[in-house]
Structure 1
C-alpha cells in the first residue's frame, strides 16, 4: 500500500544563469519576459540554441552561444513538454552523449548523469547555484536546461570534469497568464501542472508553478511513483534598474524504488573462457543444471511491504540586482535543505546464486543440514538502506557588463562565491538487538549466511526465484538470521551516523574580448578554497568519534579563440581545466576519492591529491535561416590525471589516467516554419589509460613432516596492472543519437516523433588472474582465462506525439513513449544489476492557457 507523508521542500528559482565564460545561454531576464510566457508568439517553435542569450547574457554568460568556444546545448521548455518528459532524467535522454550511472553509495537511485564519460552528479546547478543533494529532479518549474560540455571548473568550481548541467527556473515575467495541464494514461498515469503569472503592478510580478503526479511504471510489477511540488516567486522592480526576486521550491516524492534486473554470471561461475559478457537476464535463461525458464521484463525482485523511498527538497532564494548603465551588480543568496530515506532491494548475484555454482545441492554435513541451494535460479534480496539530509547556504555576488578600451570591446563578469554545506546520513538497521558481548549489530536478511540462499532464507523470502519473484511476499524482519521473534526496522544510533561538512570561498572572472569584428578572445579564471571534513560513523558500542579534514586550493582557467567568417557563423578552438578535490561530493554520491572512515585514514590525508582534467576542443557553429536553426560540430579530447587507484605497493596512489576523445554534432531549431528539430550525434572513445594495480596473493607454502606442519614460505603479494587498464571507460556509450522532430502540416495540428539510440554501456570488468609460489618463494602470475564484462546492450527507442489546438486557449495532445515496447536498460551497475527502462506507455494531455 502506498504511503504518504506531507512535507515541504524548496528549490528556489533564482535566475542566476549558469553560463560560462561565454559558455552557456542564461535564463530569460525581465526584459524578455513577455516572449517567454505561454501566450508568447514563440510558443509554437523551439528557441534556437543561444539566440535569446545573445541579447540577454547573464552574470557568467559574457557572449552569445554562437560566439562561445565551447559545446553548449540548451534544452528548451518546448522540447521538454513535447517529449512528455516529467523528470530531469527524462529530459536529458533527448541530449546525445549523456548516460546515467547506477551506484551503491550515497545516491544509488537518484540522478547520476555522465557527460563525456564523467560523473556529473556534483556538477548539477539550479540557476547557477550548485545543487548537490542526492535526489530525482522534476521539471514542472523548469524553463530550460543548459548543458555545458567539457572541463569547466572555471565556471562552477570543483568537479565538472566532463561538463555541467544548469536548470533554469520559472520566475515572474511581464504580463498575465494562467497555464495548466491535466494528463492521464496507461499504467495509471495521472499528472496535473499549473503555471500562473500575474503582474500585480507595473513593477511587481508573481508566479507560481505547481504539480501533482501519480503513476505506476509501465512494464514493471508493483513499482509506483507519486510526488507533488510547488514553486512560488515574486519580483519587485520589474523593468527598473533595481530588482529584487524571492523564490521558493518544494518537492515531495514517495515511491517503491526499482533497481532492476540481475546479471547472469559472476566471475567464478561464468561458463566458457576468454571474454564473457554478463548481461541482465531478461528472456530465456538456463541455470548451471540445465533448468530452463523465462525471465519476464516485468519481474520485480523487491519487497513491496518493506521497500520505499521518501524524499523532500526545500529551496529558498533571494536575488537583488541593480543596473549602473551598462553594468549590473547582482547578489544571490540561497538556502537548500534536502532529505531522503529509502530501503530498496538490490538483486544480488554476488555468490553465484543466479546461474548457480554446482550441478547438485549438498545433502551431507552442515551444508546439507542448512539446505544450501547451489544450483542457481535464485536472487538474494539484499536491502540497501539510507536516511539523511543535506543543508547548503550559498551567497554569490556578480558584477558584469560591457566596456571598451579603444577599439577593443569587452563583455566581462567578475564575482565571488561563499558556500557552506553539511550532509549527515545513517542507515536503517534490519536488526533487533546488539550482541551484548561485542556491541556488533546482528543483521538479518541473510547477510550473515553463506551461501545466501538455503532452506531457511528461502522460507523467510530473503531469496526469491529468478523466474517468478513475488513482490507481495509476506516479509518479516527478525532480530537475526536464526531468531524467530519479529523485530522493527530502526534507524542507526546517532554515533553510527556519518557527517560531512564543507566550505568554499571562490573568486572568478571572465572576459569576452572582441579584438576585431571577426576575432574574439574568450578567457576566464577561477580560484577556490575548498575545505572538507568528515566525521565517520562509529560502531554502536563506541563512546567517541573523530574527524578527518582536508583543505585544497584550486585554480582553473580556460581560453578560447573564435573566428567569425560571417555574423552568424564561427570557428573556435579552446582549452579548459577542471579540478575534483577529495570528498567533493560530501557523501552525496559515489566519490572515488574520499577522505576515509577509519583512524588509520588520517595518515593518508597529506597524500591525497586533486584529480585534474584538461580539455582541448575545436568546433564550428552556425545559426541559419534567419537564426532559426542552430548547428554545431565539435571535436575534443579530455585527459584526466591523478585519479585515485591502488598502487603497486597495495596502498592508495594518484597515478590513474583516463582519456576521452570524441565528436559531437547537434541541431536545434526551425528547419522551416512547419518543422522543428532537436538532437544530435555523439561518438566517444573513452579509455582508461592507467587503472592502477590489482594485488594478487600467492598462498603460503607449507609442509607436513611426521604430523607437524611448518610454513616454508609465507604468503606473498604481487601487483599486476588493473583489469581496467586499456579498456573502455564504464558508464559511457561510445555512440549515441537523438532526434526529436515536430511537424505542423496545418496550423493547428502538430505531429511529433523521437528516435533515440545508445550503444553498449559497460558497468564493470573482472578477470581471474591468480598468483602461486614455489618452495623457493618464486611467485608466478597465472594469466587470466576469463574476463567478465558486465554490460547492457545497445538499443533504439522510438516515441510519438500528436497534438491539436482546439481553440487559441485549449489544446489536446497524446504521447506514446517507447512505441515498440523495447526492452532496454538505463543504468549499468558495476556488479549485481542493471536498471531496466519502462515499457510502452501512452497518455493524453489537456492544455489550457489564458
Structure 2
C-alpha cells in the first residue's frame, strides 16, 4: 500500500500569487522535461496550472467522530483556520471566536470572578466545553493560538460527541504536529499600548519517516485604553513524530505556557446610558475616564499550563485505522484583583456639589485554583460495505479523571480605602484576602463508550447516527467556614469552625444524535437532525452543593438538552465556496423552579433557544476570500419562578442578532482585507415585569465594530502586515457584570505592525 504524505500540518508560508504560479509552473516543467526530451517534432499541448486557494475553506473536520465531509455533516460546524488567525493577529481563543456568530463574552458575578476564557454560545455557557484534540481542556486560563492548526466550533447539543455538558455545543482546538517538510515561520509584531508579540514555528525532517516541530511564543504588552493593565507571558510547544507515511505513526507532544499579568477589574458604569442609582446626585454623575485603573499596582494574575500527550495511529488495512491518545494536563491559577461596586452605597458623594470628592467602594478577591486531567481515548475508524450499504464507522472508548481544587479566602476585617471615583490612586495600600482554611476539592471520573456511523444508501441518501454511554462519578471533599446563616447544614459544628463538605453523585448517561441527509446534487445537501445531551450536578467545576435548590445538588436529576436542526449546505464555484444555512430549536429541561401551591421546588423549569444561522466561507473569485456569518436567535425561560415569586422569562447576555465578516483580496504582492462584527442588545435584567428605569444598566447596548488589514509580500520569504482594529474608534461595552455596576469597554482604535519570515 502506498502512503501519501499529508500536508495538513505543514509550516505556514506566505507567498504572493505570482510566486505560487511560478513555483507551480517550474514543478510542472520539471516533471514534463523527461517526456519532452524523448519527443521529436511534437507539439506541446495546452498546459493548465491551477494553484490551490482553499485558504479559508475547510472540507473536513480533524475530529474522527465526524465520519463525512462537512458538506454532508448534518450539524452546524465552523472551522477557523490558522491563516485567518494570522491575518487578523488573533493571539487568543477569545479573539479567534469573534469570527463565529452566536458567541458572546462574559464578565462574571458582582465581584471579579471572571476566570480565563468565559463565553456562551446560543444562550448557554460554553466555558467548560472547550477541548484540545478532542479531549476536554480544563483550567481557568486565557488560551493562546500560537500552537493551533485550526479551531472547530460545533454548535447544538453534543452529548454524543463529548459527553456530559455541551448544552449548546463545544470548541475543539487542533494542535500543530510535525510533518515531513523542512520549514520555518516566524512573526515579530509591535503595536499600540506598547504591545510586543513574537511567535515561531520550526519543523525539521529527521529521516525518511520522522520529524520534529517546535512552536514558541512570547509577549509583553499593555492593553489599549487601559492604564496599568498588562499581559505578559511565553509558551513553548515541542513535538516529535515517528513512522510518518508508514502504517504506524507515533506523536509525542507537549504544551507549556506561563502568564504573569496585571488583571483588569473594570470601571464603574456611572454616567453610561442606563445607569441608575437611588441617590439623585449620583444618578446624574459624569462618566469616568476609560483608562482609570481602580486596582492596585500589586494586583497580579499568574497562570501555568502544562500538557503532555502521546498519540499512536495504526492502519489495520482495508480502510481501518485505530488511534490511541493518552494525556496528562495541569493548570495553576493564582490571582489577586480589585473591583468596584457602584450599586447601592457603593458610591459616596462626600460633597454632593463637588464630584472630585466622590468615592467608590472597592473590594479585593483572591483565587488559588489547580486543575488536573488524565485521559485515555481509543478510537477505531473504518469504511466498509455491509448488506449493500456503505458504512463509515467511528467507535471508541474513553477514560477520564478530572480534578479541580480551589482554596477559599476572606477579606473580613480588612478595611480597604475607597478610591476617588474620578481620580483613583493605584498606589493605595490595600489588604490581601487571607486563607480561611476552607476549600473545595472536587473530581469526576468517567468511563464511556461511543459509536458513530454514516450509512450511505445511494448517492442521494445518507443516515448519520451517534450514541454515547458513559458512567460518571463526581466526588467533593472540602470544608466550609460555618456561619450563623449555614449552621443548620453543619450540626454540631461551632460557628467559625470548619464544616466538612463530603458529597458525591454518580449516574449513567446515554446521549445520542441522528441525522438524515438528502443530496439533490453532488455539491449540496439538505438535512434534518436531532441530538441530546445531559448536564449533571457539578458538571462545570465538580462542586456539589448542599442546597436543594441549586443545580449542583446531588439530589437532582441531570438537566437534559434536546436540539432539532434543519439545514442545507452547498459547495459552489467549483467547490471553492461553501454556503450554509440552518434553523434550530434547543430546549434545556429539568431546571429548578418553585411551586407556590405546594411550597416545593421541582425540576420543571426550561430554557428554550431557537433561531436561524447563515454562513459563507471560501473563495468568491480568484484572490478574493471571505468568511461571514449571521445568527438570529430568540431565547426564553419557561416556568422559572423563585420562592419569592420572581419570574425569569429571558436569558442573560443572549443577543437577538449577531453577525461577523472577514474578507481579503490579493492582487500582486498585496493583500487588502477587513471585517466587521455586530452584536445586538444583550439583556442583563431578565425578570418579568421589572421596571427597567430603576435598574442599573439593564442591558448592554448593541454595537458595530470594524477592522482593517493590509499586507505586502516583499518576496517569497518576507511579508509585512498592518492591522487596524476598531478603525472608527467605536466606544462600546464589551462585558458587564451581573449587577450592572461594573464594565469593561471594548478596545479603542488600535494598530499592530508585524513581519513574517518564512522559508
TM-score over 0.5 (shorter chain): yes
The residue number in structure 2 matching 1:443 is 413
Equivalent of residue 826 in structure 1, options 713, 717, 734: 734
Q: Specify whether residues 86 and 650 from structure 1 end up closer, same or farther in structure 2 by C-alpha distance, changes over 3 A only.
A: farther
Among candidates 295, 300, 303, match of residue 302 of structure 1: 295
Match of 1:560 in 2: 515
SS at structure 1 position matched to 2:78: strand
Residue equivalent to 1:26: none
Secondary structure of the 2:84 match is: helix
1:149 partnered with 2:155: yes
Matched residues in 1 for 2:263 and 2:600: separation? 36
1:65 aligned to which of 70, 78, 84: 70
Query: Tell me, what secondary structure is at the counterpart of 1:32?
Result: coil
Which one of 721, 738, 741 corresponds to residue 660 of structure 2?
738
Q: How does 1:187-198 map to 2 (within 5 A)?
A: 187-198=193-204
1:292–1:388 distance in 2 versus 1, CA, 3 Å: closer
Among residues 648, 651, 655, which one is paired with 1:724 in the alignment? 648
* Corresponding residue number in structure 2 for 1:474: 428
Q: Please name the residue that 1:245 is paired with.
A: 251
Counterpart for residue 40 of structure 2: none
Which of 460, 467, 472 pairs up with 1:525?
A: 467
| 1:449-460 pair list within 5 angstroms | none
Of 380, 383, 386 in structure 1, the residue corresponding to residue 364 of structure 2 is 383
Residue in structure 1 matched with residue 96 of structure 2 by the alignment: 91
Question: Could you say which residue in structure 2 is the equivalent of 1:763?
Answer: 684
> Partners of 1:30 and 1:279 in 2: how far apart?
60
Specify the alignment match of 1:396 in structure 2.
377
Shift of 1:570: 0.6
Counterparts in 2 of 1:280 and 1:500: CA distance versus 1, 3 Å: farther
Please state whether the residue corresponding to 2:214 is helix, strand or coil.
Answer: strand
Residue of structure 2 in register with 1:342 after alignment: 335
Note closer, same or farther for the CA distance 1:122–1:638 as it changes in structure 2 (3 Å cut). Answer: same
2:395 maps to which of 371, 390, 414: 414
Distance in 2, matches of 1:227 and 1:849, equals 24
Take 1:399 and 1:300, find their aligned partners in 2: how far apart are those partners?
A: 54
**1:49 positional shift:** 3.9
**Pair 1:108-2:149 in alignment:** no
Q: How does 1:37-56 map to 2 (within 5 A)?
A: 37-38=12-13, 45-53=53-61
- The correspondence for 2:569, drawn from 617, 621, 635, is 621
Any conservation in 2 of the 1:411–1:512 contact (CA below 8 Å)?
yes
Pair 1:586 & 2:535 matched:
no
**Offset of residue 109 of structure 1:** 3.4
Structure 2: segments with no counterpart, 5+ residues:
21-49, 483-495
Cα 1:252–1:402 change in 2 (3 A) is: same
CA contact (8 A) 2:461 2:518 kept: yes
Name which of 681, 689, 692 aligns with 2:641: 692
SS of the aligned residue for 2:216 comes to strand
Task: List aligned pairs for 1:208-607, cutoff 5 A.
Answer: 208-264=214-270, 278-279=274-275, 288=281, 292-305=285-298, 307-325=299-317, 326-354=319-347, 377-430=358-411, 442-445=412-415, 462-470=417-425, 472-477=426-431, 489=432, 491-492=434-435, 495-539=437-481, 542=497, 545-587=500-542, 595-596=544-545, 607=555
CA contact (8 A) 2:609 2:633 kept: yes
**2:745 matches 1:836:** yes
**What is the CA–CA distance in structure 2 between the aligned matches of 1:318 and 1:659, rounded to whole Å?**
40
Contact 2:56/2:80 (8 A) holds in 1: no
1:354, 1:376 within 8 Å by CA — same for their partners in 2?
Answer: no
C-alpha change, 1:280 and 1:789, in structure 2 (3 Å) is: closer
Structure 2 CA distance for aligned equivalents of residues 35 and 251 of structure 1: 23
CA contact (8 A) 1:48 1:668 kept: yes
**Separation in 2, partners of 1:740, 1:492:** 47
- Secondary structure, aligned partner of 1:548: strand
- The reply to whether residue 810 of structure 1 matches residue 732 of structure 2 is no
Distance 1:679 1:92, change over 3 A: same
Q: Could you list the per-position Cα deviations for residues 180-234 of structure 1 after superposition, in whole angstroms to 9, with x for gaps in the alignment?
A: 0000111101001000001101111110100001111111121111110000111
Native 8 Å contact 2:9 2:177 kept in 1: no
1:52 Cα deviation (Å)?
4.7
CA distance in structure 2 between the aligned counterparts of 1:555 and 1:531, rounded to whole angstroms: 15
Once the two structures are superposed, what CA deviation does each residue of 1:274-320 show, in whole Å capped at 9, x if it has no partner? xx984599xxx995268643422222222223x21111100100111
Give 1:48 shift: 5.0
**1:327 and 1:603, CA in 2 relative to 1: closer, same or farther beyond 3 A?**
closer
Inter-CA distance 738–465: structure 2 relative to 1 (3 Å threshold): same
Contact 2:138 2:372 (8 Å CA) reproduced: no
* Deviation of 1:70 (Å): 0.3
* TM superposition shift of 1:379: 2.3
Structure 1 unmatched runs, 5+? 1-28, 266-275, 362-372, 431-441, 446-459, 478-488, 588-593, 696-719, 770-782
Deviation of 1:59 (Å): 2.1
Shift of 1:516: 1.3
| Whole-angstrom distance in 2 between the partners of 1:792 and 1:217 | 22
**Structure 1's 757 and 425: CA in aligned 2 closer, same or farther, altered over 3 A?**
same
Q: Is the 1:286–1:292 Cα contact (8 Å) retained in structure 2? A: no
Residues 426 and 491, structure 1, Cα contact 8 Å, conserved in 2: no
Whether the 8 Å CA contact 1:355–1:375 is kept in 2: the answer is no
Aligned length: 706
Query: 616, 623, 626: which is aligned to 1:667?
Result: 616
Cα deviation, 1:709-743, whole Å, max 9, x if unaligned, reads: xxxxxxxxxxx2x3422x3x112121111110111
Residue of structure 1 aligned with 2:702, choices 784, 794, 802: 794
Within 2, Cα distance between the matches of 1:261 and 1:280? 15
In 1: Cα distance, 2:551 partner to 2:758 partner:
62
Partner of 2:85: 80
Contact 2:357 2:420 in 1 (8 A): no
Change (3 A) 1:237 1:611: same
Deviation track 1:214-258 (CA, whole Å, cap 9, x = no partner) reads 111111121111110000111110011101111100111111111
CA distance in 1, matches of 2:457, 2:101: 34
Q: Under a length normalisation based on structure 1, what TM-score does the superposition of the two structures give?
A: 0.78
In 2, Cα distance between the equivalents of 1:116 and 1:586? 21
Measured in 2, the distance between the counterparts of 1:822 and 1:345 equals: 27
- Deviation of 1:33 after TM superposition, in Å, equals 3.4
**1:380 Cα offset (Å):** 1.4
Give the C-alpha shift of residue 259 in structure 1: 3.0
**TM-score, with structure 2 as normaliser:** 0.87
Cα gap change, 1:544/1:760 in structure 2, threshold over 3 Å: closer, same or farther? closer
Following the alignment from structure 2 to structure 1, what is the Cα–Cα distance between the partners of residues 238 and 709?
30
